Chain A
Amino acid sequence: MTTCATSYGIMCDTVDEFASDVGFANTINNLIARTTGIEYQGESQPRHLLHLLVEEVGLDKIRDAVINPIRLNVAPYYGPNMQRQGATAGDDPFMPSYLEQLIMALGGTPVDYDSKCQSVGAPALLTIQKPVMKMTASVLADAKSSGADMMVSACTISHSNLDSYQSKAGKVSGKDTSMPIVHLAELIAFALGHFPDRFAQLRVRALVIGG
């Protein structure tokens, strides 16, 4: 299980390659057997935190455990890696809704916007920064103009792009990108009553200071 959609996406990619090409799987297994002395048998399957929560823990159990409902307009951000072939679990690859369902279970209002699966170019951040900043800005500006108070990301690497680089993205693109961004794990922890001080800061940032 991982919290990062990018990690999860590439794990699914490897599992797919192993299943579709036995020769390739043997080459890779020989390589890791030489260095680590173990082989991947295909028994252990990757899971993303979001899929684990919705499919195995269940939304009802999460809804019952909520202590501090979110009560904000939350823009869900999936990122592209979770929508690739074989990586969507039981969710719809073209119009995913797990994150929206989870936001509702936590007492928030999901915001519908077009860029929820659009890439923010995270792996290319260090090599082609300007286009990456423009991609980041376009997702943020879209969510903002659709009425979001804040955004929740299902991917740790995209989360750091959307959060830490948002002012730079705003400067490069000239768009309005200022918005609080949290990761999925943070939003759930806040709703379940952990870190009430951080949650209070987030609400002040979203509702009083605003964009």
Chain B
Amino acid sequence: MALKVAYYPGNTARAASSEVEDCLQPLCKTLGIQLIEIPKASSDGGNIIKQSSPKLQHALVARNLALAETKGLMS
């Protein structure tokens, strides 16, 4: 049975390091991991936003985790 996980690529995997995303998809297919992309996920602030607003940083992260929950995914 495939292991189902919510997938959050992060900012870098979709921008500067696209090779990470290229490799992740086939590797998960081989190992039987089903990646379910979190719908409408946003940037998580990357600890950079925390320097000016810790509240916004936590809100961005909590929103992404809450979106994963709406898909019924635990990790």
Task: Please report A residues at the B interface, Cβ cutoff 8 Å.
Answer: 1-4, 6-7, 9-11, 13-15, 17-18, 24, 27-29, 31-32, 35-36, 38-41, 43-47, 49, 52-53, 56-57, 61-62, 65, 81, 123, 156-157, 159-160, 163-164, 183, 185-186, 188-190, 192-195
A-B contacts besides A11-B61, A192-B31, 17 pairs, CB < 8 Å: A2-B7, A4-B12, A6-B10, A10-B44, A14-B62, A24-B58, A31-B55, A32-B63, A38-B70, A41-B66, A44-B69, A44-B75, A52-B3, A56-B3, A61-B31, A189-B24, A194-B26
Provide the main secondary structure of the chain A interface: helix
Instruction: Decide if B65 touches A40 in the complex (CB within 8 Å).
Output: yes
Q: In the complex the two chains form, what is the Cα distance from A45 to B74 in whole Å?
A: 6
Closest residue of B by beta carbon distance from A36? B63
Instruction: Decide if A192 touches B27 in the complex (CB within 8 Å).
Output: yes
A1-B6, A46-B75 are known contacts. Are A186 and B65 too (CB-CB below 8 A)?
Answer: no
A43-B69, A44-B74, A123-B46 are known contacts. Are A194 and B59 too (CB-CB below 8 A)?
Answer: no
